[in-house]
Structure 1
């Protein structure tokens, strides 16, 4: 009787392990295309992404670079203070999108141009995505808008 209980317990533990491993593999397989890594322009220049790699590019929209083309295509440059990447986007930009403001775009590099499928812009006077702030701090060009200047 004791041998049967021990065998049953081992079978249940083995089955639970197989189920856990299988579900982990399925979750990993399902998420393989859903994970987009954030990169600043300096990181894209230093380590160019692979062909067809979807990632997020963030930084500040470079002053004087915003060009509205024929139809819905818009081109501009994104900078982190060290490097600048050309961006092309077809669609409607967020209302608060403008030059000198923070943005994050999702897309891929095609012939040296980041072709964005989605553009996100800041939503109020002080908001900037954390990844953009971190990249700008890394380059030494970030200024905290909430910081009080010395009197």
Structure 2
């Protein structure tokens, strides 16, 4: 009788371990397309990624590089001070997007050009939405940022 309980316990532990491994593999497989690695322009210039790899690139929009082309395609260069990568984006750019401002783009690096599918404009750490600032002022909590 004791052997049967011991054997049953070992079977339950083995089944639980196999289920855990299978669940981990399935989660990893499902997330493989959802994980986008971040790279700087210097990293892209040093080791260009495979054209099928989707990743994020971030840096400053280089001054004088913003070209609005035919249709909705916009071309510009993004730099991190060490290297510059040409970017092509078809779509509507965010309101805060401009030269000498930070940006993050998601896309693929094909034939020396980063073909972006999404562009996010970054702003500095002192930015606060107007609605939040008004609410804090109404509560008497808001403090002007030090410059």
Give me the TM-score of the superposition, normalised by structure 2. 0.83
1:25 alignment counterpart: 25
Q: CA deviation at 1:37?
A: 0.7
Q: Does the 8 A contact of 2:102 with 2:123 survive in 1?
A: no
1:14 alignment counterpart: 14
Q: CA deviation at 1:92?
A: 0.6
Describe the superposition over 1:79-135 as per-residue Cα deviations: whole angstroms up to 9, x where unpaired: 0011100000000111111100000000011110000000011256646xxxxxxxx
1:125 and 1:8 map into 2 onto residues whose CA distance is: 59
Determine whether 1:62 maps to 2:57: no
Q: Which protein has the larger Cα radius of gyration, Structure 1 or Structure 2? A: 2
Change (3 A) 1:68 1:41: same
Unaligned stretches of 5+ residues in structure 1: 128-145
3-state SS of 1:74 partner:
strand
1:125 and 1:64 map into 2 onto residues whose CA distance is: 25
1:125 and 1:20 map into 2 onto residues whose CA distance is: 42
1:5 alignment counterpart: 5
Change (3 A) 1:87 1:126: farther
**RMSD of aligned alpha carbons:** 1.6
1:107 alignment counterpart: 107
1:137 alignment counterpart: none
1:51 and 1:67 map into 2 onto residues whose CA distance is: 23
3-state SS of 1:98 partner:
coil
Q: CA deviation at 1:35?
A: 1.1
Q: Does the 8 A contact of 2:88 with 2:113 survive in 1?
A: yes
